[in-house]
Amino acid sequence: MTQHVYDDYFFDEPAYNTHDGGYVPLEVADAPESQLAIPPLLKPDKETDTDAWYTLEAQKGETQILPGAKTKTWGYNAPLLGTTLAFEVGKHIHVTLKNSLDELTTFHWHGLSVSGPYVDGGCHAPVYPGESKQIDFTLDQPAATTWLHAHPCPSTAEQVWHGLAAMVLVRDQHEASLPLPRTYGVDDIPLVLQDRRFHENNQWDYHADYDPDGVQGPTAMINGTVNPVFDVTTQKLRLRILDGANRREWRLHFSDDLEFTQIASDSSLLPEPVHFTHLMLTCAERAEIIVDFKNYKEGDTVTLFSDDVPIVKFRIHAFKPDNSVLPDHLIDIHAPKVLPTTPVRKIVMSGMDEQVAIDGKKFNMQRIDATQPIGLAQYWDVTNTNTMHGGMVHPFHVHGTQFLVISRNGGAPYPNEHGYKDTVGVNPGETVRLLVRFDLPGVYMYHCHIIEHEDGGMMAQIQTYDPNKPMPKYRLMDMETLTQAFAKERGVDPDTMWMAGMDSYKKMGMKM
Ligand SMILES: [Cu+2]
Protein backbone atom coordinates (compact mmCIF):
# COMPACT_ATOMS: atom_id res chain seq x y z
CA MET A 1 0.00 0.00 0.00
CA THR A 2 1.46 3.37 -0.92
CA GLN A 3 1.04 5.89 1.82
CA HIS A 4 -0.34 9.34 1.19
CA VAL A 5 2.10 12.15 1.90
CA TYR A 6 0.59 15.59 2.48
CA ASP A 7 2.62 18.49 1.19
CA ASP A 8 0.61 21.55 2.21
CA TYR A 9 0.02 23.52 5.41
CA PHE A 10 -3.80 23.33 5.24
CA PHE A 11 -4.37 26.70 6.93
CA ASP A 12 -5.60 29.54 4.69
CA GLU A 13 -2.60 31.17 3.06
CA PRO A 14 -4.08 34.72 3.00
CA ALA A 15 -4.32 34.53 6.81
CA TYR A 16 -0.67 33.59 7.45
CA ASN A 17 1.13 35.99 9.76
CA THR A 18 3.42 36.87 6.83
CA HIS A 19 0.63 39.13 5.54
CA ASP A 20 0.38 41.02 8.84
CA GLY A 21 1.27 44.72 8.81
CA GLY A 22 3.53 44.19 11.81
CA TYR A 23 5.01 40.91 10.63
CA VAL A 24 8.63 40.39 11.64
CA PRO A 25 10.24 37.88 9.28
CA LEU A 26 12.74 35.41 10.69
CA GLU A 27 16.31 36.16 9.77
CA VAL A 28 19.38 33.95 9.85
CA ALA A 29 21.09 34.99 13.08
CA ASP A 30 24.58 36.37 12.88
CA ALA A 31 25.82 33.96 15.54
CA PRO A 32 27.89 30.78 15.58
CA GLU A 33 26.22 27.38 15.64
CA SER A 34 25.61 26.00 19.12
CA GLN A 35 24.71 22.58 20.43
CA LEU A 36 20.92 22.41 20.84
CA ALA A 37 20.13 22.78 24.55
CA ILE A 38 18.16 19.81 25.85
CA PRO A 39 16.46 20.76 29.12
CA PRO A 40 17.28 18.12 31.73
CA LEU A 41 14.44 16.02 33.16
CA LEU A 42 13.42 17.26 36.60
CA LYS A 43 14.02 14.54 39.19
CA PRO A 44 11.35 14.16 41.85
CA ASP A 45 12.35 15.21 45.38
CA LYS A 46 10.89 11.91 46.50
CA GLU A 47 9.04 9.10 44.78
CA THR A 48 7.09 6.02 45.81
CA ASP A 49 5.08 3.51 43.76
CA THR A 50 2.01 5.70 44.10
CA ASP A 51 3.22 9.29 44.62
CA ALA A 52 5.88 11.71 43.40
CA TRP A 53 6.94 15.05 44.86
CA TYR A 54 8.51 17.88 42.86
CA THR A 55 9.65 21.43 43.54
CA LEU A 56 9.30 24.03 40.82
CA GLU A 57 10.98 27.38 41.25
CA ALA A 58 10.24 30.34 38.99
CA GLN A 59 13.51 32.24 38.95
CA LYS A 60 15.54 34.89 37.21
CA GLY A 61 18.89 34.17 35.67
CA GLU A 62 21.32 34.91 32.88
CA THR A 63 21.92 32.83 29.78
CA GLN A 64 24.71 32.84 27.23
CA ILE A 65 22.56 32.81 24.10
CA LEU A 66 24.70 34.97 21.80
CA PRO A 67 28.42 35.72 21.97
CA GLY A 68 29.16 38.64 24.30
CA ALA A 69 26.85 39.72 27.10
CA LYS A 70 24.59 37.15 28.70
CA THR A 71 20.85 37.71 28.28
CA LYS A 72 18.69 38.29 31.37
CA THR A 73 16.18 35.44 31.31
CA TRP A 74 13.56 33.71 33.46
CA GLY A 75 12.90 30.01 33.87
CA TYR A 76 11.66 27.13 35.98
CA ASN A 77 14.52 25.56 37.98
CA ALA A 78 16.78 26.90 35.26
CA PRO A 79 17.86 30.35 34.09
CA LEU A 80 15.84 30.04 30.86
CA LEU A 81 12.69 28.04 30.03
CA GLY A 82 12.93 25.12 32.41
CA THR A 83 13.63 21.57 33.28
CA THR A 84 11.34 19.09 31.52
CA LEU A 85 8.76 17.39 33.72
CA ALA A 86 7.55 13.85 33.07
CA PHE A 87 4.41 12.68 34.86
CA GLU A 88 3.00 9.14 34.93
CA VAL A 89 -0.75 8.87 34.45
CA GLY A 90 -2.36 7.52 37.63
CA LYS A 91 0.42 8.67 39.94
CA HIS A 92 -0.44 11.18 42.64
CA ILE A 93 1.73 14.22 41.87
CA HIS A 94 2.60 16.80 44.55
CA VAL A 95 4.24 20.02 43.39
CA THR A 96 5.67 22.84 45.47
CA LEU A 97 5.38 26.04 43.43
CA LYS A 98 8.01 28.49 44.54
CA ASN A 99 8.20 32.05 43.29
CA SER A 100 11.71 33.52 43.50
CA LEU A 101 10.94 36.29 41.01
CA ASP A 102 10.43 39.92 42.00
CA GLU A 103 6.80 39.82 40.93
CA LEU A 104 3.78 37.56 41.18
CA THR A 105 3.35 34.72 38.74
CA THR A 106 1.16 31.67 38.22
CA PHE A 107 2.01 28.12 37.14
CA HIS A 108 -0.42 27.05 34.42
CA TRP A 109 -0.49 23.43 33.27
CA HIS A 110 -1.38 23.83 29.61
CA GLY A 111 -2.93 20.55 28.50
CA LEU A 112 -3.28 18.81 31.85
CA SER A 113 -6.68 17.72 33.11
CA VAL A 114 -6.36 19.23 36.55
CA SER A 115 -8.98 21.09 38.55
CA GLY A 116 -9.53 24.77 37.95
CA PRO A 117 -9.10 27.51 38.84
CA TYR A 118 -6.36 27.03 41.45
CA VAL A 119 -4.41 23.89 40.49
CA ASP A 120 -4.80 24.76 36.80
CA GLY A 121 -2.80 27.90 37.52
CA GLY A 122 -4.64 30.55 35.50
CA CYS A 123 -5.02 34.12 36.74
CA HIS A 124 -6.88 33.06 39.89
CA ALA A 125 -3.86 31.29 41.35
CA PRO A 126 -1.15 33.89 41.93
CA VAL A 127 1.98 32.95 43.84
CA TYR A 128 3.50 36.13 45.23
CA PRO A 129 7.25 36.74 45.30
CA GLY A 130 9.00 34.83 48.06
CA GLU A 131 6.00 32.55 48.55
CA SER A 132 5.45 28.86 47.99
CA LYS A 133 2.23 26.98 47.33
CA GLN A 134 1.48 23.27 47.29
CA ILE A 135 -0.72 21.63 44.71
CA ASP A 136 -1.45 18.00 43.98
CA PHE A 137 -3.27 16.10 41.28
CA THR A 138 -3.61 12.68 39.67
CA LEU A 139 -3.71 12.59 35.90
CA ASP A 140 -6.30 10.58 34.01
CA GLN A 141 -5.64 11.38 30.35
CA PRO A 142 -3.68 9.89 27.44
CA ALA A 143 0.08 10.24 27.06
CA ALA A 144 0.91 13.60 25.47
CA THR A 145 3.36 16.46 25.14
CA THR A 146 2.00 19.32 27.23
CA TRP A 147 3.63 22.34 28.80
CA LEU A 148 3.85 24.64 31.76
CA HIS A 149 3.80 28.40 31.44
CA ALA A 150 3.08 31.53 33.44
CA HIS A 151 -0.50 32.86 33.18
CA PRO A 152 -0.87 35.96 35.40
CA CYS A 153 -3.37 38.24 33.65
CA PRO A 154 -2.69 40.63 32.07
CA SER A 155 1.04 39.92 32.04
CA THR A 156 1.09 36.37 30.69
CA ALA A 157 2.72 37.40 27.42
CA GLU A 158 5.55 39.32 29.05
CA GLN A 159 6.36 36.55 31.53
CA VAL A 160 6.37 33.87 28.84
CA TRP A 161 8.56 36.20 26.76
CA HIS A 162 11.03 36.38 29.68
CA GLY A 163 11.26 32.57 29.48
CA LEU A 164 8.64 31.01 31.74
CA ALA A 165 7.77 27.97 29.63
CA ALA A 166 8.71 24.32 30.12
CA MET A 167 7.78 20.99 28.55
CA VAL A 168 5.61 18.56 30.50
CA LEU A 169 5.51 14.99 29.20
CA VAL A 170 2.57 12.82 30.16
CA ARG A 171 3.41 9.13 30.02
CA ASP A 172 1.14 6.11 30.13
CA GLN A 173 1.38 2.34 29.67
CA HIS A 174 -0.25 2.36 26.26
CA GLU A 175 2.28 4.77 24.78
CA ALA A 176 5.06 2.78 26.48
CA SER A 177 3.89 -0.39 24.71
CA LEU A 178 4.37 1.09 21.22
CA PRO A 179 7.61 0.83 19.22
CA LEU A 180 8.46 4.56 19.41
CA PRO A 181 11.72 6.32 20.20
CA ARG A 182 11.61 7.33 23.86
CA THR A 183 15.16 7.80 25.13
CA TYR A 184 14.90 11.40 26.26
CA GLY A 185 17.67 13.59 24.88
CA VAL A 186 18.95 10.86 22.52
CA ASP A 187 16.11 9.95 20.16
CA ASP A 188 13.21 11.68 21.94
CA ILE A 189 13.84 15.40 21.72
CA PRO A 190 11.79 18.40 22.83
CA LEU A 191 11.83 21.39 20.46
CA VAL A 192 10.41 24.58 21.95
CA LEU A 193 10.07 27.02 19.05
CA GLN A 194 10.30 30.69 20.00
CA ASP A 195 11.54 33.94 18.51
CA ARG A 196 13.14 36.97 20.09
CA ARG A 197 14.67 40.30 19.18
CA PHE A 198 18.04 40.92 20.78
CA HIS A 199 18.58 44.57 21.65
CA GLU A 200 21.68 46.30 22.97
CA ASN A 201 23.94 44.05 25.05
CA ASN A 202 21.96 41.02 23.88
CA GLN A 203 18.96 41.95 26.05
CA TRP A 204 15.26 41.45 25.36
CA ASP A 205 12.96 44.45 25.59
CA TYR A 206 9.32 43.41 25.67
CA HIS A 207 7.96 46.94 25.87
CA ALA A 208 10.02 48.13 22.90
CA ASP A 209 8.87 45.17 20.80
CA TYR A 210 5.22 45.35 21.88
CA ASP A 211 2.54 44.76 19.26
CA PRO A 212 -1.07 44.18 20.39
CA ASP A 213 -1.36 41.47 17.72
CA GLY A 214 1.55 39.57 19.24
CA VAL A 215 5.21 40.19 19.91
CA GLN A 216 7.71 38.72 17.48
CA GLY A 217 11.45 38.79 16.99
CA PRO A 218 13.58 38.06 13.93
CA THR A 219 15.75 35.46 15.65
CA ALA A 220 14.53 31.88 16.02
CA MET A 221 15.37 30.45 19.42
CA ILE A 222 14.93 26.70 19.83
CA ASN A 223 15.04 25.41 23.43
CA GLY A 224 16.76 28.72 24.16
CA THR A 225 19.47 28.06 21.54
CA VAL A 226 20.17 30.28 18.52
CA ASN A 227 21.49 28.45 15.43
CA PRO A 228 21.21 25.05 17.10
CA VAL A 229 22.81 21.83 15.91
CA PHE A 230 21.69 18.41 17.10
CA ASP A 231 23.88 15.32 16.74
CA VAL A 232 21.79 12.45 15.41
CA THR A 233 23.04 9.04 16.60
CA THR A 234 19.93 6.95 15.85
CA GLN A 235 18.16 6.23 12.57
CA LYS A 236 14.88 7.61 13.87
CA LEU A 237 14.21 10.71 15.92
CA ARG A 238 11.05 11.63 17.72
CA LEU A 239 10.68 15.39 17.87
CA ARG A 240 8.18 16.83 20.33
CA ILE A 241 7.57 20.23 18.81
CA LEU A 242 5.87 23.04 20.73
CA ASP A 243 4.98 26.41 19.27
CA GLY A 244 6.04 28.28 22.40
CA ALA A 245 6.08 31.66 20.65
CA ASN A 246 3.82 34.52 21.69
CA ARG A 247 2.64 35.11 18.15
CA ARG A 248 4.62 33.27 15.51
CA GLU A 249 3.27 30.51 13.33
CA TRP A 250 5.85 27.96 12.28
CA ARG A 251 5.70 26.47 8.80
CA LEU A 252 8.05 23.55 9.11
CA HIS A 253 9.76 21.50 6.44
CA PHE A 254 13.10 19.75 6.08
CA SER A 255 15.81 20.04 3.47
CA ASP A 256 15.29 17.65 0.52
CA ASP A 257 11.57 17.84 1.42
CA LEU A 258 12.30 14.91 3.69
CA GLU A 259 9.08 13.12 4.66
CA PHE A 260 8.18 12.78 8.29
CA THR A 261 5.38 11.13 10.19
CA GLN A 262 3.21 12.88 12.75
CA ILE A 263 2.22 10.49 15.54
CA ALA A 264 0.70 12.86 18.10
CA SER A 265 -0.89 16.27 18.34
CA ASP A 266 -1.54 18.36 21.46
CA SER A 267 -3.20 15.93 23.82
CA SER A 268 -2.78 12.37 22.56
CA LEU A 269 -1.36 10.13 19.90
CA LEU A 270 -3.14 10.34 16.56
CA PRO A 271 -5.38 7.36 15.77
CA GLU A 272 -3.31 6.80 12.62
CA PRO A 273 0.13 8.18 11.79
CA VAL A 274 0.00 10.93 9.13
CA HIS A 275 2.79 11.51 6.62
CA PHE A 276 3.88 15.00 5.70
CA THR A 277 6.56 17.06 4.07
CA HIS A 278 5.16 20.35 5.49
CA LEU A 279 3.55 21.14 8.82
CA MET A 280 2.19 24.38 10.25
CA LEU A 281 1.80 24.97 13.97
CA THR A 282 -0.07 27.88 15.54
CA CYS A 283 0.74 29.22 19.01
CA ALA A 284 0.65 26.61 21.80
CA GLU A 285 -0.02 23.69 19.43
CA ARG A 286 2.20 20.61 19.67
CA ALA A 287 3.14 17.91 17.21
CA GLU A 288 5.19 14.78 17.79
CA ILE A 289 6.87 13.67 14.61
CA ILE A 290 9.13 10.76 13.69
CA VAL A 291 11.93 11.56 11.30
CA ASP A 292 13.65 8.61 9.63
CA PHE A 293 17.22 9.31 8.48
CA LYS A 294 17.65 5.94 6.74
CA ASN A 295 18.63 7.57 3.44
CA TYR A 296 21.37 9.64 5.09
CA LYS A 297 24.84 8.68 6.19
CA GLU A 298 27.48 9.84 8.62
CA GLY A 299 28.61 13.38 7.76
CA ASP A 300 25.33 14.45 6.15
CA THR A 301 23.30 17.36 7.46
CA VAL A 302 19.52 17.71 7.44
CA THR A 303 18.03 21.13 8.13
CA LEU A 304 14.65 22.02 9.58
CA PHE A 305 13.24 25.25 8.16
CA SER A 306 10.40 27.55 9.05
CA ASP A 307 9.28 29.23 5.84
CA ASP A 308 12.66 29.70 4.16
CA VAL A 309 14.81 30.22 7.28
CA PRO A 310 16.89 27.36 8.75
CA ILE A 311 16.03 26.83 12.43
CA VAL A 312 17.71 23.53 13.45
CA LYS A 313 20.53 21.55 11.85
CA PHE A 314 20.69 17.80 12.36
CA ARG A 315 24.22 16.45 11.98
CA ILE A 316 24.05 12.78 11.05
CA HIS A 317 26.45 10.38 12.75
CA ALA A 318 26.81 6.62 12.36
CA PHE A 319 23.69 4.82 13.56
CA LYS A 320 22.51 1.23 13.84
CA PRO A 321 19.77 0.24 11.40
CA ASP A 322 16.33 0.54 12.96
CA ASN A 323 13.78 -1.73 11.33
CA SER A 324 10.98 -0.99 13.79
CA VAL A 325 7.66 -0.54 12.04
CA LEU A 326 5.20 2.08 13.15
CA PRO A 327 1.78 0.49 13.71
CA ASP A 328 -1.02 1.62 11.37
CA HIS A 329 -3.18 2.32 14.39
CA LEU A 330 -1.81 4.13 17.43
CA ILE A 331 -4.73 4.82 19.75
CA ASP A 332 -8.51 4.36 19.96
CA ILE A 333 -10.34 7.67 20.12
CA HIS A 334 -13.78 7.39 21.67
CA ALA A 335 -15.93 10.38 20.79
CA PRO A 336 -18.46 10.81 23.58
CA LYS A 337 -22.11 10.85 22.42
CA VAL A 338 -23.79 14.24 22.28
CA LEU A 339 -27.43 14.15 23.37
CA PRO A 340 -29.84 15.69 20.82
CA THR A 341 -31.17 17.89 23.64
CA THR A 342 -27.76 19.45 24.34
CA PRO A 343 -27.54 22.87 22.68
CA VAL A 344 -24.53 23.84 20.59
CA ARG A 345 -22.38 26.41 22.37
CA LYS A 346 -21.48 29.30 20.07
CA ILE A 347 -18.25 31.21 20.65
CA VAL A 348 -17.10 34.14 18.53
CA MET A 349 -13.54 35.43 18.38
CA SER A 350 -13.52 38.88 16.83
CA GLY A 351 -11.27 41.85 16.24
CA MET A 352 -7.61 42.56 15.82
CA ASP A 353 -5.20 44.80 17.73
CA GLU A 354 -6.87 46.38 20.78
CA GLN A 355 -10.37 45.37 19.62
CA VAL A 356 -9.95 41.64 20.24
CA ALA A 357 -12.87 40.07 22.12
CA ILE A 358 -14.78 36.87 22.71
CA ASP A 359 -18.53 37.08 22.17
CA GLY A 360 -18.15 40.84 21.89
CA LYS A 361 -16.69 41.17 25.38
CA LYS A 362 -13.26 41.49 26.86
CA PHE A 363 -12.16 39.17 29.64
CA ASN A 364 -13.31 39.95 33.16
CA MET A 365 -11.83 37.79 35.92
CA GLN A 366 -14.94 38.08 38.06
CA ARG A 367 -17.46 37.17 35.36
CA ILE A 368 -18.42 33.57 34.60
CA ASP A 369 -19.25 33.53 30.89
CA ALA A 370 -20.62 30.02 30.57
CA THR A 371 -21.41 26.88 32.54
CA GLN A 372 -21.27 23.19 31.61
CA PRO A 373 -21.98 20.10 33.70
CA ILE A 374 -19.07 17.68 34.06
CA GLY A 375 -19.37 14.46 32.07
CA LEU A 376 -21.62 16.09 29.44
CA ALA A 377 -20.35 16.21 25.86
CA GLN A 378 -21.22 19.42 24.07
CA TYR A 379 -20.45 20.82 20.64
CA TRP A 380 -18.68 24.15 20.70
CA ASP A 381 -18.86 26.09 17.44
CA VAL A 382 -15.92 28.47 17.53
CA THR A 383 -16.06 31.21 14.91
CA ASN A 384 -13.36 33.66 13.84
CA THR A 385 -15.11 36.68 12.33
CA ASN A 386 -11.89 38.22 10.95
CA THR A 387 -11.82 38.46 7.19
CA MET A 388 -9.11 37.11 4.92
CA HIS A 389 -8.14 40.70 4.29
CA GLY A 390 -6.12 41.73 7.33
CA GLY A 391 -7.39 38.93 9.56
CA MET A 392 -5.42 36.17 11.22
CA VAL A 393 -5.64 32.59 12.40
CA HIS A 394 -6.60 32.71 16.09
CA PRO A 395 -5.42 29.62 18.01
CA PHE A 396 -8.33 28.76 20.35
CA HIS A 397 -7.34 27.05 23.62
CA VAL A 398 -9.48 25.60 26.42
CA HIS A 399 -8.05 24.91 29.88
CA GLY A 400 -8.66 21.68 31.76
CA THR A 401 -9.88 19.48 28.93
CA GLN A 402 -8.90 17.71 25.74
CA PHE A 403 -11.35 18.17 22.90
CA LEU A 404 -11.95 16.61 19.51
CA VAL A 405 -12.07 18.66 16.31
CA ILE A 406 -15.26 17.59 14.56
CA SER A 407 -15.37 19.85 11.50
CA ARG A 408 -14.12 23.02 9.83
CA ASN A 409 -16.94 24.99 8.19
CA GLY A 410 -18.84 21.71 8.05
CA GLY A 411 -16.02 19.92 6.24
CA ALA A 412 -13.43 17.48 7.52
CA PRO A 413 -10.79 18.65 9.99
CA TYR A 414 -7.16 18.58 8.83
CA PRO A 415 -5.68 15.07 8.59
CA ASN A 416 -3.61 15.57 11.78
CA GLU A 417 -6.60 16.74 13.87
CA HIS A 418 -8.13 13.34 14.64
CA GLY A 419 -6.56 12.95 18.08
CA TYR A 420 -7.30 14.90 21.27
CA LYS A 421 -6.28 18.53 21.22
CA ASP A 422 -6.45 21.56 23.48
CA THR A 423 -5.60 24.27 20.94
CA VAL A 424 -6.95 24.66 17.42
CA GLY A 425 -6.15 27.32 14.84
CA VAL A 426 -9.34 28.91 13.50
CA ASN A 427 -9.05 30.60 10.09
CA PRO A 428 -10.76 33.93 9.31
CA GLY A 429 -14.38 33.38 8.34
CA GLU A 430 -14.31 29.87 9.71
CA THR A 431 -16.35 27.99 12.28
CA VAL A 432 -14.61 25.03 13.87
CA ARG A 433 -16.84 22.55 15.66
CA LEU A 434 -15.28 21.01 18.76
CA LEU A 435 -16.54 18.22 20.98
CA VAL A 436 -15.84 19.33 24.53
CA ARG A 437 -16.33 17.46 27.77
CA PHE A 438 -15.01 18.37 31.20
CA ASP A 439 -14.42 15.71 33.83
CA LEU A 440 -13.55 17.96 36.77
CA PRO A 441 -15.58 20.76 38.34
CA GLY A 442 -13.96 24.18 38.41
CA VAL A 443 -13.46 27.46 36.60
CA TYR A 444 -11.51 27.27 33.36
CA MET A 445 -10.39 29.90 30.91
CA TYR A 446 -10.72 29.65 27.13
CA HIS A 447 -8.95 32.08 24.89
CA CYS A 448 -6.87 32.93 21.86
CA HIS A 449 -3.29 31.72 22.41
CA ILE A 450 -1.68 34.62 20.63
CA ILE A 451 -0.68 35.65 24.10
CA GLU A 452 -1.05 39.40 23.53
CA HIS A 453 -4.64 38.76 22.36
CA GLU A 454 -5.33 36.80 25.53
CA ASP A 455 -3.87 39.57 27.71
CA GLY A 456 -5.80 42.10 25.60
CA GLY A 457 -9.09 40.45 26.52
CA MET A 458 -9.75 37.72 23.90
CA MET A 459 -10.51 35.39 26.75
CA ALA A 460 -13.50 34.13 28.73
CA GLN A 461 -14.14 31.57 31.45
CA ILE A 462 -16.48 28.67 32.04
CA GLN A 463 -17.60 27.10 35.29
CA THR A 464 -18.00 23.33 35.16
CA TYR A 465 -20.02 21.65 37.88
CA ASP A 466 -21.34 18.38 39.19
CA PRO A 467 -25.10 18.51 38.46
CA ASN A 468 -25.77 16.36 41.54
CA LYS A 469 -24.17 18.80 43.96
CA PRO A 470 -24.78 22.42 44.89
CA MET A 471 -22.88 24.84 42.65
CA PRO A 472 -19.67 25.78 44.48
CA LYS A 473 -18.57 29.40 44.72
CA TYR A 474 -14.93 29.97 43.82
CA ARG A 475 -12.85 32.84 45.06
CA LEU A 476 -11.96 34.66 41.85
CA MET A 477 -9.13 37.15 41.52
CA ASP A 478 -9.83 40.69 40.36
CA MET A 479 -7.78 43.07 38.29
CA GLU A 480 -7.57 45.68 41.02
CA THR A 481 -5.81 43.29 43.40
CA LEU A 482 -3.41 42.04 40.73
CA THR A 483 -2.62 45.52 39.39
CA GLN A 484 -1.93 46.85 42.89
CA ALA A 485 0.34 43.87 43.58
CA PHE A 486 2.29 44.23 40.32
CA ALA A 487 2.68 47.99 40.89
CA LYS A 488 3.96 47.47 44.44
CA GLU A 489 6.36 44.74 43.33
CA ARG A 490 7.68 46.90 40.49
CA GLY A 491 7.80 49.98 42.73
CA VAL A 492 5.69 52.07 40.34
CA ASP A 493 2.44 54.00 40.46
CA PRO A 494 -0.45 51.66 39.51
CA ASP A 495 -2.07 54.45 37.48
CA THR A 496 0.93 54.97 35.24
CA MET A 497 2.28 51.39 35.23
CA TRP A 498 2.67 50.03 31.70
CA MET A 499 1.14 46.61 31.32
CA ALA A 500 0.65 45.39 27.80
CA GLY A 501 -2.78 43.80 28.19
CA MET A 502 -4.20 46.75 30.11
CA ASP A 503 -3.32 48.98 27.18
CA SER A 504 -5.93 47.22 25.05
CA TYR A 505 -8.63 47.83 27.66
CA LYS A 506 -7.63 51.47 28.15
CA LYS A 507 -7.57 52.18 24.41
CA MET A 508 -11.09 50.73 24.19
CA GLY A 509 -12.17 52.80 27.21
CA MET A 510 -12.83 49.64 29.24
CA LYS A 511 -11.95 48.52 32.74
CA MET A 512 -10.58 45.06 33.32
CU1 LIG B 1 -6.00 35.90 18.50
- In angstroms, what is the span from residue 138 Cα to ligand 1's centroid? 32
What is the pLDDT confidence band of residue 448, given thresholds at 50, 70 and 90? Answer: very high
- In angstroms, what is the span from residue 412 Cα to ligand 1's centroid? 23
- In angstroms, what is the span from residue 15 Cα to ligand 1's centroid? 12
Q: Which helix (H) or strand (E) holds 191?
A: strand 188-196
307 and 382 share a domain? Answer: no
- In angstroms, what is the span from residue 359 Cα to ligand 1's centroid? 13
- In angstroms, what is the span from residue 356 Cα to ligand 1's centroid? 7
Domain count for the chain: 3
Distance in angstroms (rounded) separating the CA atoms of residues 402 and 421: 5
452 and 375 share a domain? Answer: yes
CATH of the domain at 285: 2.60.40.420
Q: With a threshold of 0.95, does the pTM exceed it?
A: yes
447 and 413 share a domain? Answer: yes
Any domain includes 104: yes
- In angstroms, what is the span from residue 475 Cα to ligand 1's centroid? 28
- In angstroms, what is the span from residue 255 Cα to ligand 1's centroid? 31
- In angstroms, what is the span from residue 386 Cα to ligand 1's centroid? 10
- In angstroms, what is the span from residue 458 Cα to ligand 1's centroid? 7
127 and 186 share a domain? Answer: no
Q: DSSP letter for 236, please.
A: E
Distance in angstroms (rounded) separating the CA atoms of residues 301 and 229: 10
pLDDT in tens, 449-495: 999 999 999 999 999 999 999 999 999 999 889 989 999 999 998 88
pLDDT in tens, 140-168: 999 999 999 999 988 999 999 999 999 99
Any domain includes 157: yes
176 alpha-carbon distance from chain centroid? 23
- In angstroms, what is the span from residue 448 Cα to ligand 1's centroid? 5
Any domain includes 12: no
Mean pLDDT calculated for residue range 304-320: 97
Residue 282 CA: distances (Å) to CA of 171, 287, 400, 418: 24, 11, 19, 17
- In angstroms, what is the span from residue 362 Cα to ligand 1's centroid? 12
Any domain includes 487: no
Strand partners, 465: 373
Check if the beta carbon of residue 399 is closer than 8 Å to that of residue 446. Answer: yes
Is 510 a residue whose pLDDT tops 80? no
- In angstroms, what is the span from residue 318 Cα to ligand 1's centroid? 44
183 and 164 share a domain? Answer: no
Task: Tell me the pLDDT of the chain averaged across its residues.
Answer: 96
- In angstroms, what is the span from residue 357 Cα to ligand 1's centroid? 9
250 and 290 share a domain? Answer: yes
Mean pLDDT calculated for residue range 414-422: 98
- In angstroms, what is the span from residue 333 Cα to ligand 1's centroid? 29
Domain that residue 360 falls in: 345-465
Any domain includes 451: yes
